[in-house]
A and B are shown apart, each in its own frame.
Chain A
Amino acid sequence: MFNMAASLGFLTKSLLNLRLSTTCYRWIHMQETPLNIHVTSALWGVPMKKKRKVDPQLAIMREQKKKRKIEKQIRRLEKYAQKLKPIEEIQISNQLQQETKLRQRRNTVISFEESEERVKLVKQWSQYQQKLFGEEMKALALAELAQQKALTELRKESEELYQMAIQMDAKLIPFKHEGPLYTVAISDYKAPDGEYNDISRKWD
């Protein structure tokens, strides 16, 4: 009897002290007697949300819209992929193309004597160039012969020295040489100050 009263008393106490019990997820009792009343976490349960119904046609439309958008992007990319970077140096601008008639030079009439003179000059020039070319070839052949002679003479003296002489010179390549110019650079010349503006367009 006492036992029963005691356990009831405990129950009321625990019920009254609900706030305390809520902090526990589980009630683990230390009593020797079994207790059949439990306070469980099922109290926190929430009723399920109602599922929104989507119109199937609308869903299809949406999907198509997405698809079209991507297709458009692809088309745009393809369009620009074919377009090459313009080479301004060899393209004649529209303005210039329109002005070609305006820019025609009134050709001066060349007299017969003048044209004869010109033909003669071209012939003279080709003869002159041929002469130069011949001289150059001759000089090169002579130089080659001189080198060959030097090498054979060296071989007669010493095979070892000859072998050293015909080795390749790796230090010579790459060979770099500047000039000749019309006038030499002025030493300790100070270039006047100026701003450098890069106006070339960028193409990515």
Chain B
Amino acid sequence: MQKFVSFISSVSRLCPAKISVNQPFGICGRLMSVSSQDILTDDHSKKWHLFSAVCLERLPQISANLNEIENKYLNFMNQLEIENSLLSDHELRFQEDKKIAAKKHDDSDLKEETARKTTTEIEDLWEIEYNSFTPAPRITEADKSNDLKSLERCLDGKLILLVKQKLGTQETWVMPQSRHQPGESMRQTAERILHQYCGEKMKSLFLGNAPCGYHKYKYPRDADVFGAKVFFFKAFHQDGNVSEICPEIIDYSWVTKKELPQYLSPVYLESVNKFIIDF
């Protein structure tokens, strides 16, 4: 990460530092070799490389925990609801129970057992039935072991897929990205990336043909190309995890929006944060 930051600053025109890099940044794996066709050679106005990236989100699976004020207000609303309500059948029954008990207490001769169940008995039965079922836990095994590769983690928040990709010579955490190829639209590039990087099992839903965000970075000065323009496409994760890791990807993890700064460079994070909405 530190390296990446220093690199970004070194690229700015004010800084004379020069880094010699064999491969221009942003060209990954399969597209390592840069043919003369890719770069529209014009010495006076250098071109940009176009990239598509996928912002793959796993939507929250469970409702978020209530914070303090939400909890307080919920309790208040429940209290109001009870105060404004009429007595229910169950409560009437409870009152009847009390009367019967009082009567029994008065004349001790009337102590024969009746078939009638008291409300407390009924409630006990209900409780047993309720306790016999255990719902799925809200904090999963993946949370406990902090398994960043699992989709089961942080069920109450949004997860975003990040991959460690080789951009130029550096290994950087980014959203899966790849170079645009002639003949396909930017969205088709994005779909291809996901298919290629994450395997067949991953199913997702792309949100429209338009990119949702944009980020650009520059290559070293001696490169033939200015730099890369990355267009982000948003997609919702539907089914399946990253099944087979292809050689372009060194590592992957599912992170929440809050965890993004641990992985991404500040400049990249700024571009990306604009379109990731998570409450």
Measured CA separation A103–B63 after assembly (Å):
35
Q: Which residues of chain B come closer than 8 Å to A121, judged between CB atoms?
A: 72-73, 76
Q: Which residues of chain B come closer than 8 Å to A172, judged between CB atoms?
A: 205-208
Residue contact B87 to A104, C-beta cutoff 8 Å: yes
Q: Which residues of chain B come closer than 8 Å to A164, judged between CB atoms?
A: 185-187, 209
Residue contact A161 to B186, C-beta cutoff 8 Å: yes
Residue contact B76 to A118, C-beta cutoff 8 Å: yes
Measured CA separation A107–B82 after assembly (Å):
10
**With contact pairs A150-B214, A150-B232, A169-B209 given, residues A143 and B274 touching in the complex (Cβ less than 8 Å):** yes
Interface size class of chain A, counting residues whose CB lies under 8 Å from the partner chain: 35 or more
Interface residues of A in 139-184 (CB under 8 A from B): 139-140, 142-143, 145-147, 149-151, 153-154, 157-158, 161, 164-169, 172, 175, 177, 179-184
Measured CA separation A173–B48 after assembly (Å):
34
Measured CA separation A118–B76 after assembly (Å):
8
Cross-chain pairs A/B with CB under 8 angstroms, 17 sampled: A108-B83, A121-B73, A139-B279, A143-B275, A143-B277, A146-B274, A146-B275, A147-B210, A147-B211, A149-B213, A151-B210, A151-B211, A166-B209, A172-B207, A177-B236, A179-B59, A180-B59
Known: A143-B275, A153-B216, A165-B211. 6 other contacts (CB 8 A): A121-B72, A136-B279, A143-B274, A150-B232, A154-B231, A180-B156
- B residues sitting closer than 8 Å to A (CB atoms) are 48, 50, 59-64, 69, 72-73, 76, 82-83, 85-87, 92, 135-138, 155-156, 180, 185-187, 205-214, 216, 229, 231-232, 236, 271, 274-275, 277, 279
